[in-house]
Amino acid sequence: MTSPLNRSAREPLRIVPPGGSSDGWPILPSAQSSARSTVADVSLGVPSAGATLPRSELQHVAGANRRRHATRHTARMFSLIAIDAMGVLVAMLLLVLLMPDDGWGHIVRWSAPGAGAVVVFIQSAIAVCSGLVIMRAYQEGDPGLDFGRVLIGTALGLLLLHWSMIWNDASSILFSYAPSVLLFGSIIALMRHLSARSWEALVPSASEAPRALFIGEPREVESMMQRNPLKGAHALVPVAQLDLRHATLRDRALVPDHGAMTRVENVLQNAVHEHDVDTVLLCSHFEDHELAQIVATAESAGCRVLCLSRTHLVSRRSPTVRTYDHTPVVELTQPGIRGRDVVLKRLFDVVTALSLLVLLAPVLIVVAVLVKRSSPGAVLFRQERVGHAGRRFHILKFRSMCDGAEAQVDALRGDSIYQDARLFKVERDPRVTPLGRFLRKSSVDELPQLFNVVHGSMSLVGPRPPLPSEVEAYGDRSFLRFDVKPGITGPWQVNGRNRVASFDQVIALEAAYVDGWTIWRDFAILARTVPVVLRMDGAY
């Protein structure tokens, strides 16, 4: 029998039972896609003499793996620090450009008198990076891309520079400190986001990506390889897969005591050596003693051990680890906009809505006069809608229909472009006035909802608020749209608007928005709304 240590790194590792046949022993099916054609199948049998990897060789592998992990971590840290420092530099240059008369003087006031440009930059970069360290924004995974975490870390860092200024002049909080935090935090977060997206394009060819051994039942391993949640900047390369579940159960009947787990240890050791594995990903549920043996063996080889949470299978639930009396407890929470994200979104809504109301004041006045003169009735149309947490409010629009139009809804319901009663829209609605037709097609009739945003009953971006009569026909899944405030625009508007004829598709778009909310997604939807409105796409 050929020693496993002499095999090629790409050849599947098989420890064959006595007699040279592997019949009856669990072997994972071959890869079914070209993307997984290089993933080796590792099977578990009775180890033959000499199959066990020498402990000295395993220690050599462990040392190499630990150095590899340390190198990746160090490179990632210094890359993020360099990106953040570059963000500080860009923000400082923008501050000078936006304030040509006092921009540099504004920056110098952060530092010691007489400090040069290089000194001010170094102090600013160190202060901001220190704040980001405090907020743990250099952790691996999502925290580094969390806009709220980056913004708070930037605020803490700039507080070190602004402290004396704030102490002597409280008004500098509003006119100096707060604008600086928004500018620096937004640029740093944007640069981190762009660098992460750029890394996603480079990572498939990256030779230093972690090499992973997937352990678990074949069905779950297959599913996890297809879904592989560790993508982009956190990508790993699947190089081997191992099914221990049925193998260990069969071995317990053949070998007394813990002989089965001894063979598991041998297989794991050889798999790590043969396929240059430095990461072990657990995809299934294991008994406590099995898990302990797997983790101990993987760690003795210097491998990082990742355990996929089972909660990814639970619809719209995300795990949060809490520690009570040194015991970690996983809390399952429904995704949504909570905590500091609520404050961040509300701050953005109020500032943007007030700014737009000031800028668009002439347009609002002209449209109000035209509506009043075009047909009898009020300028503003007020209608009861269902908003956040099921609370009812009155949405505001410029009136685009004849007075008393709501009384004609039942007569027109048969002409709706939607087959689903939970949606209602008539393409050539006879109730719409000539001016109203233009207002609806251009979405100008929605502008008064900026007052709803300032009031707090709506947001700039979110699901559209339904009528109470439509909510009566909702199923359980449909109520997720009430987890957040309704919006003037949202995922439905930028994905076809009235051409999206399926209510289930509308709910799916809104669920994806709520589950994956970030401030960047709101920015993206607002940016996509502009061309949709200008093209008058899907509106009537």
Q: Are residues 187 and 112 in the same domain?
A: yes
Does residue 172 contact residue 166 with C-beta atoms inside 8 Å? yes
Q: What is the total count of domains within the chain?
A: 3
Q: How far apart are CA 125 and CA 531, in angstroms?
A: 37
Here the tokens at position 112 are: 């010691």
Q: Are residues 41 and 112 in the same domain?
A: no
pTM check: above 0.75: no
Tell me whether residue 6 is in a domain. Answer: no
pLDDT tens track, the chain, 540 positions: 333 333 333 333 333 333 333 333 233 333 333 344 456 555 544 344 344 555 566 677 788 888 888 888 888 889 899 999 999 999 888 877 776 555 455 565 555 555 577 888 888 899 999 999 998 888 877 667 788 889 889 999 988 877 777 677 766 666 677 888 888 999 999 999 888 777 655 554 445 678 888 888 888 877 777 765 565 555 677 888 887 655 443 333 333 344 444 566 677 777 777 788 888 888 887 878 778 888 888 888 888 898 876 655 555 566 777 888 888 887 777 666 777 788 889 989 999 999 999 999 999 999 999 999 999 999 999 999 999 989 999 999 999 998 877 777 777 777 776 766 677 777 788 888 999 999 988 999 999 999 999 999 999 999 989 989 888 878 777 788 888 999 999 998 888 776 776 788 888 888 888 877 888 889 889 988 988 888 876 666
Bridging pattern class, strands 380-386 and 392-398: antiparallel
pLDDT for residue 93: 84
Q: Which backbone phi and psi does 255 adopt, to 5 degrees?
A: -125, 125
Q: Are residues 277 and 393 in the same domain?
A: no
pLDDT for residue 202: 54
Q: Are residues 155 and 224 in the same domain?
A: no
pLDDT for residue 352: 92
Domain with 101, as residue range(s), is 70-199
The last residue of one of the domains, among 171, 199, 227, is 199
Q: How far apart are CA 25 and CA 13, in angstroms?
A: 14
pLDDT for residue 204: 46
pLDDT for residue 65: 85
Here the tokens at position 306 are: 């990742």
pLDDT for residue 10: 36
The last residue of one of the domains, among 156, 175, 199, is 199
* End-to-end CA separation in angstroms for the chain: 76
Q: Are residues 500 and 466 in the same domain?
A: yes
Q: Which backbone phi and psi does 396 adopt, to 5 degrees?
A: -110, 135
Tell me whether residue 63 is in a domain. Answer: no
Tell me whether residue 521 is in a domain. Answer: yes
Q: Give the other-Cβ count within 10 Å of 328's Cβ.
A: 8
Tell me whether residue 327 is in a domain. Answer: no
pLDDT for residue 225: 73
H/E stretch holding 241: strand 237-242
pLDDT for residue 29: 34
pLDDT for residue 55: 56
Helix (H, G, I), strand (E, B) or coil at 136: coil
Does residue 28 contact residue 41 with C-beta atoms inside 8 Å? yes
Nearest of 92, 79, 168, 171 to residue 124 by alpha carbon:
92
pLDDT for residue 3: 33
Which residues are paired to 281 by β-bridges?
Answer: 214, 306
Tell me whether residue 319 is in a domain. Answer: no
Tell me whether residue 52 is in a domain. Answer: no
Q: Are residues 522 and 482 in the same domain?
A: yes
The last residue of one of the domains, among 199, 234, 266, is 199
Q: How far is CA 461 from the centre of its chain?
A: 17
Nearest of 126, 120, 131, 129 to residue 95 by alpha carbon:
120
Sign (positive or negative) of CA dihedral 305, 310, 316, 317 = negative
User: Which residues are CB-neighbours of 237 under 8 A, at least 6 positions away?
Assistant: 209, 210, 211, 212
Tell me whether residue 298 is in a domain. Answer: yes
- Range list of H helices, 40-142: 55-98, 103-108, 117-134
Q: Are residues 376 and 294 in the same domain?
A: no
Tell me whether residue 330 is in a domain. Answer: no
Q: Are residues 76 and 173 in the same domain?
A: yes
Q: Are residues 397 and 283 in the same domain?
A: no
Does residue 465 contact residue 458 with C-beta atoms inside 8 Å? yes
Q: Are residues 484 and 356 in the same domain?
A: yes
Q: How far apart are CA 108 and CA 103, in angstroms?
A: 9
Does residue 243 contact residue 14 with C-beta atoms inside 8 Å? no
pLDDT for residue 253: 34
Residue 432 DSSP code: B
pLDDT for residue 310: 62
Strand ranges inside 325-437, DSSP E: 327-333, 380-386, 392-398
Q: How far apart are CA 510 and CA 504, in angstroms?
A: 10
pLDDT for residue 235: 67
Q: Are residues 95 and 233 in the same domain?
A: no
Helix (H, G, I), strand (E, B) or coil at 218: helix
Bridging pattern class, strands 392-398 and 237-242: unpaired
Task: Write the DSSP string, 516-535.
Answer: T--HHHHHHHHHHHHHHHHH
Q: Are residues 266 and 229 in the same domain?
A: yes
